[in-house]
Amino acid sequence: MANMKLMYSPTSPYVRKVMVVALETGLDKKIDKLPAATTPVAPNPQVVARNPLAKVPSLQAEGMTLYDSPVICEYLDTKHRGKKLFPAKGKARFNALRQQALGDGLLDAALLVRYELTLRDEPMRSQAWHDAQMLKIGNALDQMEKEAGTLRGAPTIGHVTFGCALGYLDFRFADMGWRKKHKKLAAWYEKFAQRPSMKATVPPT
């Protein structure tokens, strides 16, 4: 099989999910990374050509172009013979998929805050919108804290997404000090962040 091609940005937490999955499953050497910076208001034509939604990551493989990150991660998980990150069925599967949606939802809210602060001149910023997104982040963290004790055993896509979401808060929202009120989650993350897949994908400062 020809190498897969990944539209890649080292600062995108959704790209990080894909790379963590690739590293955990030994598929990273079969993926060529195509660097592609993009923003909502200045979409990169190279990115749009592969994903009409103008977002990274997208993955070209077997004549398909796949997006978004949950689809790419599940696809990669079918292409190796090791321990699966997506449980095959039943409650284990749907709990992992729900955790992925929770971590991705935290990230969606965090990105909307970033766009509010970086893509709009000050008079066009809405405090109510900003606060609503920050509340989602806080509520998501509270839920993740409740689940921290269950994050045991071999990592699932839920664990990977929690890890990338928390890594993004450290990267872009360091001031919010999420660890203070989420001590079990912080203890879990401290260990999870030591995995080689996580250490190899820390966003550049």
The residue among 46 and 139 lying less far from a second copy, judged by its C-beta, is 139
The residue among 110 and 198 lying less far from a second copy, judged by its C-beta, is 110
Helix, strand, coil fractions of the chain, as percent rounded to 5: 60, 10, 35
- Residues in contact with 142: Cβ distance below 8 Å, sequence separation at least 6, in sequence order: 181, 182
Interface with a second copy includes 92 (CB under 8 A)?
Answer: no
| Binding range to a second copy, per CB under 8 A, among 10-18, 105-113, 157-165, 172-180 | 105-113
d(CA 38, CA 45): 9
d(CA 100, CA 158): 5
In the block, residue with structure tokens 């509520």: 139
Tokens standing for residue 172: 């872009």
The residue among 19 and 112 lying less far from a second copy, judged by its C-beta, is 112
| Binding range to a second copy, per CB under 8 A, among 18-26, 107-115, 154-162, 166-174 | 107-115
Of the candidates 2, 152, 21, the one whose C-alpha atom is nearest the C-alpha of residue 64 is 2
3-state secondary structure 2-47: CCEEEEECCCCHHHHHHHHHHHHCCCHHHEEEEECCCECCECCHHH
> 10 Å Cβ neighbour count for 122?
6
| Binding range to a second copy, per CB under 8 A, among 29-37, 125-133, 159-167, 168-176 | 125-133
Partners of 8 in beta bridges: 35
166 to 195: interface string for a second copy, x by CB under 8 A: ------------------------------
For the segment 31-70, give every residue that binds a second copy (CB under 8 A). Answer: 40-41, 43, 48, 52-55, 62, 64-68, 70
For the segment 148-167, give every residue that binds a second copy (CB under 8 A). Answer: none
Residue 7 C-beta: closest distance to a second copy, Å: 14
Q: Which residues bind a second copy (CB under 8 A)?
A: 40-41, 43, 48, 52-55, 62, 64-68, 70-71, 74-75, 78, 89, 91, 94-95, 97-98, 101-102, 105-106, 108-109, 115, 119-120, 123-126, 128-129, 132-133, 135-136, 139-140, 142-143
